[in-house]
Structure 1
């Protein structure tokens, strides 16, 4: 499956997908229709599918215009059917979405919003996780609880290590600056931080990362790791409480 990053707004990523065998063309979380139309027209592609991870406008704002122009099928969470415009197919945890010759499994990931979902294309080794899991971070808890988000992150953490992580925003440098404050003895994190700084200085995206990288360096996936717990003076604490404390600290981090 071809995957192309389309920058939108100040730090969003929209993802353009193409299944070469069927010529199916999809877009994930089109907050803005204009850059999607430009990318499609430049390639001579016709949009067939729109996949939404959650209802925030910077992820669905382009739905109506794109559907009107291309008659694309809009796919999203059944739990958010009342908040996502133009939905044609509604799905929940464990359901599958066909995209040409590809199949995406839906994973419920509440926390950032209560109806958030992720799309995992096992055959393409690609995860589109919206604002649940970020490179070296996770989403703010606008609607869900810390317990819900910790459960969602554990579900994503359990995916195969080679899975590429395509998240909704370019937040990686800010996330890295925070991560090293709560996991200062992690040598791999320090190396990743240096690499991320260099990439951003060159104007390069830091996405995708992989599940393997996130398991080893993302503190929000490591709330049950003794090294992270010790670093924030919560050795032996319940991982859910540790995660909540990490999220609280990140919310106030500048």
Structure 2
């Protein structure tokens, strides 16, 4: 059976812990740029890989995801897609959740509503690869910076419904700290214990821990496990209230993480 070629994805580190993603076409020497917080590392990566940019995809308005748009537009005349409900300088194609982006040389790009970190946050799904900005992290999720807990919970549940094989390309290297918190919540989770050990080895070797798989997140990320008895019990004990709703568990869990300091 014929299979579509896999799209290579290039990791472009930026600032201290950001990741910018270059999605390379399987058909031509072009790339989609996801969340360019700064331009210089993108320009260098494009030159090193001998790629020409095709378009820019923005998940939300924060500067560490948008700061490179203007400089990149000085070099390349390409469209910039971003959420219609957020004010982002340089966006030429405001888009809605449910939109389908078609770019020559690339599979269809599905736009998902993943508000909560910011109210208008969107994510992009292409070739079973999820580019989710600051909504879902490896081992965690984004803070509430303008959005609401019910909104973010709904977004995470929608992402959880994607196939287990989905690759998760988040925008920050927060995995080790996220898993340290997760282990506080679920100390008996053996999959989590093993993932934390492996993650610490990766970081000690200077390797990125992203992307992860959605199956891995479902097994170890407490924010996708708010219906699990162990998570519900831990959060109920922390709050001193018997929480039975996964959304209520999520809300309290996010507050717990906001104040968490690892030892």
| TM-score of Structure 1 vs Structure 2, range by shorter chain | over 0.9
Name the CA distance, whole Å, in 2 between partners of 1:227 and 1:94.
35
Alpha carbons 1:48, 1:71 under 8 Å: kept = no
1:88 is aligned to 92
Name the CA distance, whole Å, in 1 between partners of 2:224 and 2:125.
18
- CA deviations 1:205-248 (Å, max 9, x no partner) are 00000110101110001111112101223665111110011100
* 1:216-227 matched pairs, under 5 angstroms: 216-227=219-230
Give the secondary structure class of the aligned counterpart of 1:79. coil
Are 2:24 and 1:18 equivalent residues in the alignment? yes
Name the CA distance, whole Å, in 2 between partners of 1:200 and 1:235.
37
Alignment length (residue pairs): 250
Displacement after TM superposition at 1:20 (Å): 2.3
Name the CA distance, whole Å, in 2 between partners of 1:171 and 1:8.
14
Detail structure 1 runs of 4+ shifted over 6 Å in the superposition.
none
Name the CA distance, whole Å, in 2 between partners of 1:253 and 1:88.
39
Output the TM-score relative to the length of structure 2: 0.92
Structure 2 portions without partners, runs of 5+: 1-6
Give the secondary structure class of the aligned counterpart of 1:47. strand
Q: Given the alignment, which residue of 227, 239, 243 partners 2:246?
A: 239
Aligned alpha-carbon RMSD (Å): 1.2
Alpha carbons 1:226, 1:235 under 8 Å: kept = no
Structure 1 portions without partners, runs of 5+: none
Are 2:146 and 1:143 equivalent residues in the alignment? yes
Are 2:72 and 1:45 equivalent residues in the alignment? no
Name the CA distance, whole Å, in 2 between partners of 1:45 and 1:198.
32
Are 2:106 and 1:101 equivalent residues in the alignment? yes
- CA deviations 1:161-198 (Å, max 9, x no partner) are 00000001000000011000011121111111111111
Alpha carbons 1:5, 1:13 under 8 Å: kept = yes
Give the secondary structure class of the aligned counterpart of 2:74. helix
Are 2:198 and 1:195 equivalent residues in the alignment? yes
Give the secondary structure class of the aligned counterpart of 1:76. strand
Name the CA distance, whole Å, in 2 between partners of 1:52 and 1:164.
18
Are 2:237 and 1:249 equivalent residues in the alignment? no
2:14 is aligned to 8
Name the CA distance, whole Å, in 2 between partners of 1:23 and 1:73.
17
Displacement after TM superposition at 1:152 (Å): 0.4
Alpha carbons 1:75, 1:87 under 8 Å: kept = yes
Give the secondary structure class of the aligned counterpart of 2:56. strand
Alpha carbons 1:74, 1:86 under 8 Å: kept = yes
